[in-house]
Amino acid sequence: MALLSTILILFSSALILHSGFSSHEFHQLLKSLPQDSHSYLGHQLPKDIQYEAIAGIITFTIAVFFSFKKLTYYPLQGPQKLITLNHYLHEIRMNKATNVDNLIGNDPYGEINHTPNFIDIHAKREETKRWLEQNDKKEI
């Protein structure tokens, strides 16, 4: 989706630039005509330039909308399976907004509830060492 959106944005920019350039050329030519001539007074931008510019604008708008992606998550713990939700924006009501956290096993207040500053580092390192030893044994 993102790739498609980028390609479309580039394409529409090219369209708009080209039509701008054509329109510029046209008006330069127009100015070289005498100001009271018939074709000067009744002048109008050629249809193909108009269509090109309008097509450029519409493509750009669509590309902007294509740049939205459906929300995707990986669960924080457990097997890594991509979860795709069927909407583009986050719901704002608190009881719904936290559903995403529940789904991926996140605790939005974790900075408080996991008491990260009171962690005993030595205990953690012991645990790791033990685990590493066990792993080594298994491999042997």
Partner 1 sequence: MDAIRGRYISICTSKVYTQFSPEELMELNDGCKRYMQLKDPSLGQAQYFSLMEMLFYLAVYLCKDVEAQVLYNTFRDRLGEDSPRLYGMKSTLLQINESDSAAVEFIEKLIKERLEVDTDSISYLLLQKRLIAIQSKNHDKEWVVRQLLNLIEKFPIDPEIWWFAAQNYFELGQFERAVYCLEEVIQLTPFNYVASARLAEVLYYKSMRVDKSVAKTKATLQNALNNALRSVELSENYLKGWSLVALTSSKLDGKNKILQLAKSKLQIIANGSNAQNKVTAELILKSI
Partner 2 sequence: MSSIDEITSSDYVLGNKKSLLWVQDSTALVFGIGAGILQLESFKGFAMFVVGYLSVALLYIIWICRLQPAKYYQSPINDIFIESFVRELTGYVMAWTFSYALVG
Partner 3 sequence: MALSVWSVWSLITAGSAGAVAELTLDPKLKYWVLLPISIVMVLTGILRQYIMDLIAPNTKGVPRVKLTESQWIYKAQALLANGSNLSAEAFQLRKEHLIEVLAGGKYLVKLNTDGQAPSPLSDPNLSENMFSMAKGNLANFIPQTIIMWWVNHFFAGFVLMKLPFPLTPRFKEMLQSGVMTADLDVRWVSSISWYFISVLGLNPVYNLLLSDTESIDINAAQQPPTMGGPGEPQPEAVMKGLANDLTIAENESCFDDIEQRVLEKYS
Residues at the contact surface with partner 1, assessed by CB under 8 A: 69, 72-79, 81-83, 94-96, 98-99, 101-122, 124-125, 127-129, 131-132
* Sole residue written with tokens 């030519």: 29
Token digits of residue 42: 């009744």
> Is 45 a binder of partner 2 (CB under 8 A)?
yes
Closest separation between CB of residue 27 and partner 2, Å? 5
| 35 interacts with, out of partner 1, partner 3, partner 2, none, CB within 5 to 8 A per kind | partner 3
Q: What are phi and psi of 103, to 5 degrees?
A: -65, -40
Span near partner 2 by CB under 8 A; candidates 34-42, 56-64, 123-131, 132-140: 56-64
The Cα 50–Cα 73 span in angstroms is: 43
Token digits of residue 23: 């329109």
DSSP letter (8 states) at residue 118: G
